Structure 1
Amino acid sequence: MLTELKAQPADKILQLIQMFKDDPRPVKIDLGVGVYKDATGLTPVMRAVKAAEKTLWETQTTKTYTGLAGDPAFATAMAGMILAGAVADDRIAAVATPGGTGAIRQALELVRMAAPQATVWLSNPTWPNHPSIIRYLGIPMREYRYFDAESGAVDFDGMMADLDAVKPGDVVLLHGCCHNPTGANLNMVEWAAVAALLNRRHAVPLVDLAYQGFGDGLEEDAAPTRLIARECPEVLIAASCSKNFGIYRERTGILMTIGDAGLRAVTQGNLAFLNRQNYSFPPDHGARLVTMILENAALTALWKSELEEVRLNMLTLRQALADALRAETGSDRFGFVGAHRGMFSRLGITADQVERLRVEHGIYMVGDSRLNIAGLNAQTVPVLAKAVAQVIR
């Protein structure tokens, strides 16, 4: 049997991580992997998470199973953080998942089970795992224009023109905030227009919310998702706690559905069924920490202050990089970097220039020129700017 297996293409980001590790140069910069790093290059454990873990260690009396959907308190806490009452609770069904990737996978499994003829529409570009999972599940897929590489902004007219071809029952995957890989986001007027178009076309939005709190603020980043939830009769939301709680390895995510209250019980049962087929009971440790933090006013305040520090640090790095690139290149070609939000931006340089950055300067980023802003610090920003200026001359 095993002799029939074919080699799978290497994941480009994981391949980049290994190349960085194998690089013997003492001075090198990793801008590929999508994790937050502080000025020392460490991805720290938040103080609020540490405090919750200490309390959990002291008080937890069992490690038995929770339930197929996870602890209901986690779903309640996450619905409060993401939706904040935008829709009635009796319209929401939810299951805990192994990270945001697990939530996306379960959402697509649900689509395939409920609407096997539906096409899933993705932004061009999008996170590479989106099309990878969709192809693996055999779900029809199409793209809509999203990013204008010349301006570094959203191609909103192109997006709306493409989405006008969406058919009833199709699913449109939207990045709730901090678009990955571009960092370019819709404004609220544009979000309202998207919601109206989806309703007119009778399509279902699937919101991938992986970076709430990393862009303009915890509440501001949730505003588009809340608008979609209020305006659209059916919504799927896949959310991750990896970034905003810094618990990457705990694999903590959630899939929420919003629909008619009369369908909630059936929907909840189907979500639990899908969990049972894929992994039975979802991981609990990270979900329990998140629940403890969101249920405790003091821990919530501490966590929010830490998250705000992370967000402001990335904004500072963004502007510093935009300024340094302007100084080194003598142009505003990269000014959009300061306007983008979240961990990522696309510089808009060629694959050959990205390769020169790696070979000649020890600077690692994805081949499409996506860089992780959080991989920089005050010392490496000018190094990157000088190197970019050299390779584009």
Structure 2
Amino acid sequence: MLEALNPQPQDKILQLIALYREDKRTTKIDLGVGVYKDPTGLTPVMRAVKAAEKKLWEVETTKTYTGLAGEPAYNSALVKMILGETDRAASVATPGGTGAIRQALELVKLATPGATVWLSAPTWPNHPSIIKFLGMKMAEYRYFDAATCGVDFEGMKADLAKVAPGDVVLLHGCCHNPTGANLTQAQWAETVAILQKQGAVPFVDLAYQGFGDGLEEDAAATRLIAASFPEVLIAASCSKNFGIYRERTGILIALTSPDRKAVVQGNLNFLNRQNFSFPPDHGARLVTMILEDEALTADWKAELEEVRLNMLTLRQSLADALRKLTNSDRYDFVATHRGMFSRLGLTEAQVLRLREEHAIYMVGDSRINIAGLNAQTVPILAQAIVAVGG
């Protein structure tokens, strides 16, 4: 049996991590892996998470299974953080945001197996990978303008006007990965109007709430979509905003009518049972404790804001350094992008030169993790970009 297996394509980011680790140069800079790093290069455990873990150790009395959907208190707390008060939400805890995306696509396949799933061009590589693995139909809508490093909104609108009724359109709720280019509020409103006209079902990937313009601000587009459609899927992750990457803490929310919610909830529970039975609970428990404790919530929000502002400072510093070195505004977009990532618009050849000549590692499409920089490495990166002809 196993001899019939063929090698699978390697993940480009994981390949990049391996190359970085093997590099013996002490000046090397990692801008590839998508985790937040503080100015010392550490991905810290947030203060509120530490406090919650200590409290959990003291009060936890069992390690028995949680429910198929996860603990109700966790689901309720996350739904409220993302959407505010609503009576339309069926939800399940999942192994991270990736698990939520997988379960959402499984739900789509179960409900409307002939639906096409529309993705932004570009998008997070796991989106098309999972869709292909599930054997689902897939299409792209234009999103990123390589010339301006902003959103190609006219192209996006033209492509979304081709969406068929019942098709699913995957949208990045904030902090677009991999480009960092986001829609404005006015553009979100236009997008909603187009999707309403086409009869589409929005599917929001919300992996970076709190990393862009603020916790509430980053939920605005998702809340607009939730208020505008009878059915919405939302996959959210606690990896970034709570810093609990390895705890694999996510949630899938399915908004529907109150009279259909029980049936939808039953199907979500069923899918959890088929794929992994009971979802992991440790990270979910920590998130619940933080969101239910006023002092922990305040401290978590304060540290999350420190993280967000650090990334904004790095963005502005890099944009300023490149403006000075190039004597142009070509890279001013870096300061306007939001979240961890920006796509710089460099060629693959330039990216390769950055790695070989300057020990600077980024994905081949020139996506960089802004949080991989610090005050010392910003000017090094800027000078290297200019040196390779950027």
Instruction: State the match for 1:341 in structure 2.
Output: 338
Partner of 1:222: 219
Match of 1:15 in 2: 15
Shift, 1:98, TM fit: 0.2
Residue 287 (structure 1) aligns with? 284
Q: What residue is the counterpart of 2:240 in the other structure?
A: 243
1:371 Cα shift?
0.2
User: Deviation digits for residues 303-337 of structure 1, max 9, x if unmatched?
Assistant: 00000000000000000000111111221111100
The aligned counterpart of 1:69 is: 69
Give the AA of the match of 1:189: A
Matching residue's letter, 1:319: Q
* Residue ranges of structure 2 left out of the alignment (5+ in a row): none
CA drift of 1:152 comes to 1.4
The letter of the residue matching 1:296 is D
Q: Tell me by how many angstroms 1:192 deviates.
A: 1.2
Q: In the alignment, which residue of structure 2 is the partner of 1:318?
A: 315
Structure 2 SS opposite 1:242 = coil
Q: Does 1:158 align with 2:128?
A: no
Aligned equivalents of 2:253, 2:110: Cα separation in 1 = 16
Query: Aligned Cα RMSD in Å?
Result: 0.6
Structure 2 counterpart of 1:295, one-letter code = E
- Among candidates 370, 378, 381, match of residue 373 of structure 1: 370
Percent same amino acid at aligned positions?
74
Q: Residues 342-363 of structure 1, C-alpha deviation per residue, up to 9 Å, x if partnerless?
A: 0000000100000000000000
Q: Which deviates more, 184-193 or 123-132?
A: 184-193
Between stretches 183-192 and 202-211, larger displacement belongs to 183-192
Q: 1:136 aligns with which of 133, 136, 140?
A: 133
AA aligned to 1:70 is G
Give the partner amino acid of 2:61: T
Q: What is the CA-CA distance between 1:190 and the residue it aligns to? A: 1.1
- List aligned pairs for 1:79-90, cutoff 5 A: 79-85=79-85, 88-89=86-87
CA–CA distance in 2 between the matches of 1:14 and 1:218?
30
Partner residue of 2:197 out of 197, 200, 206: 200
1:176 to 160, 173, 177: 173
Shift of 1:197: 1.2
Separation of aligned partners in 2, 1:382 and 1:53? 38
**TM-aligned CA deviation for residue 143 of structure 1:** 0.2
Distance in 1 of aligned mates of 2:309 and 2:204: 24
| 1:195 to partner: Cα distance | 1.2
Q: Give the C-alpha shift of residue 150 in structure 1.
A: 1.0
CA displacement, residues 111-169 of structure 1 (integer Å, 9 cap, x when unaligned): 00000000000000000000000000001000000011111111111101000000010
Pairwise CA distance, 1:244: 0.1
Partner residue of 2:36? Answer: 36
Deviation at 1:298, TM superposition (A): 0.3
1:381 shift after superposition: 0.2
For 1:237 and 1:151, the matched residues in 2 are separated by 29
The one-letter code of the counterpart of 2:137 is: P
- Matched residue type, 2:332: G
Structure 1 CA distance, aligned partners of 2:94 and 2:238?
11
2:54 paired residue number: 54
Distance 2:150 2:344 in 1: 12
State the number of aligned residues.
Answer: 390
Distance 1:293 1:277 in 2: 30
Q: Shift of residue 193 of structure 1?
A: 1.3
Q: Secondary structure at the match of 2:43?
A: coil
Kindly provide the amino acid, as one letter, of the partner of residue 146 in structure 1: Y
Partner amino acid, structure 2, of 1:237: I
Superposed CA deviations along residues 213-257 of structure 1, whole A, max 9, x for unmatched, are 000000000000000000111000000000000000000000000
Residue by residue, what CA displacement relative to the aligned partner does 1:37-79 show, whole Å, maximum 9, x if unpaired?
Answer: 0011000000000000000000000010111000011110001
**Residue by residue, what CA displacement relative to the aligned partner does 1:66-102 show, whole Å, maximum 9, x if unpaired?**
11000011110001100012xx32x110000000000
Aligned pairs (5 A) from 1:256-267:
256-267=253-264
Tell me how far apart the structure 2 counterparts of residues 169 and 247 of structure 1 sit (CA, whole Å): 35
1:109 counterpart = 2:100: no
Match of 2:360 in 1: 363
CA distance in 1, matches of 2:194, 2:277: 37
SS at match of 2:216: helix
Paired position in structure 2 for 1:302: 299
CA distance in 1, matches of 2:225, 2:26: 48
Distance in 1 (CA, whole Å) between partners of 2:217 and 2:33 is 25
Residue 164 of structure 2 corresponds to 167
State how far apart, in whole Å, the 1-side matches of 2:275 and 2:325 are. 51
1:189 CA displacement: 1.2
Partner SS state of residue 35, structure 2: coil
Instruction: Give the whole-Å Cα distance in 2 for the aligned partners of 1:330 and 1:366.
Output: 26
Aligned mates of 2:230, 2:200 — CA distance in 1: 10
Q: Which runs of 4+ in 1 moved over 3 A?
A: none
Where structure 1 has 5 or more consecutive residues not aligned to the other structure, the ranges are: none
Deviation at 1:194, TM superposition (A): 1.1
Q: Determine the C-alpha separation between the residues in 2 that align with 1:56 and 1:183.
A: 36
